[in-house]
Structure 1
Amino acid sequence: MEDTKTNLPAGEATIPAGDAVSLRAETALLHRRLLAMARGAEGRLRDQRAANVLGTHHLRDEIAALRAALRRAEAASERRRLEAETLRARSEAQRAALQAMGQLLAEAVGTGEEAEARWLALAARAAEMGLPHEETYLEVNGDVARDGQTAAGHYIRFGARAGRFPHPAPDAG
């Protein structure tokens, strides 16, 4: 079962799975609001012309400012969408690399009577290096804590092959 968020190694951001959808919705809402404001300003301009009221230059400036604001908002939304896609792709590449590393570990350790001792030695060395981050790994992977396994032992034997991240993702805020 996958989380609704993709956890990245230290130094990366966390991207919610629905972030691109919410960005599109936010952009569409902003676009509709700005268009409505521009239409309202255009309507006021028409009314003033019909009544021969002076000051249409101000309304033209307001319309131009609203259109410029709309272009800036659309550009910012597109940048945020592209950043989210880039981070999501990077996260998937890192997950694939972790899975490959886990598979290599499993192949290197092998099977048989001596394999358990090799797994335990690897887990002890990983724990000494702070891999994985004990508290966060057990919190994010509740199954490991429920089964009474250590974070390092589980990560070395199973977690890396499953693509579980060894460290907490940095605060996205």
Structure 2
Amino acid sequence: MADIKILLVEDDKIEALGIKHILESLDYEVSIIKSHEEAIDEFFNIIPDFILMDTVQNGDNTANKLSSMIKKLNIPIIYLNAPFEESKTQNIGNKEPQEYINNPCDPIELKCAIELAIYKNQVENELNESEGRFRSLVENVEDVFVRYDLIT
């Protein structure tokens, strides 16, 4: 899995280092960014395969902009939630994450969630490509053939 680059957006340095340690022990390459705003600025320097992001950060209202950008680029994402803070997930709104996971993270749960999100993203991409090819075929068909079998 070393070929998978994860962008971790977490403003708490201790939590970020703990999660980074877990992810590196699972053989992921990890970059830590401390704010949503910084993530927007540095995103194309890192070009991650996957994003793990704190749901809401103090004083940071750029999360929707970042989430919108991530969605357009079709990158899987999991949001980190502090335990028992459901109110934070209500602020996510239209971000459409793959999944939420509580922080602190259980390493096995985190690994499964990441692998599932990446797999789901790959399947959705393949489905969209297949749908596009089928749509193109149907839209470009010039003749329609109909075969009737008359049984008398």
Q: Normalized against structure 2, the TM-score is what?
A: 0.30
The structure whose residues are more often helix, as a share, is 1
The structure whose residues are more often strand, as a share, is 2
Between Structure 1 and Structure 2, whose CA radius of gyration is higher?
1
* Greater relative contact order (CA < 8 Å, ≥ 6 in sequence): 1
Q: Normalized against structure 1, the TM-score is what?
A: 0.26
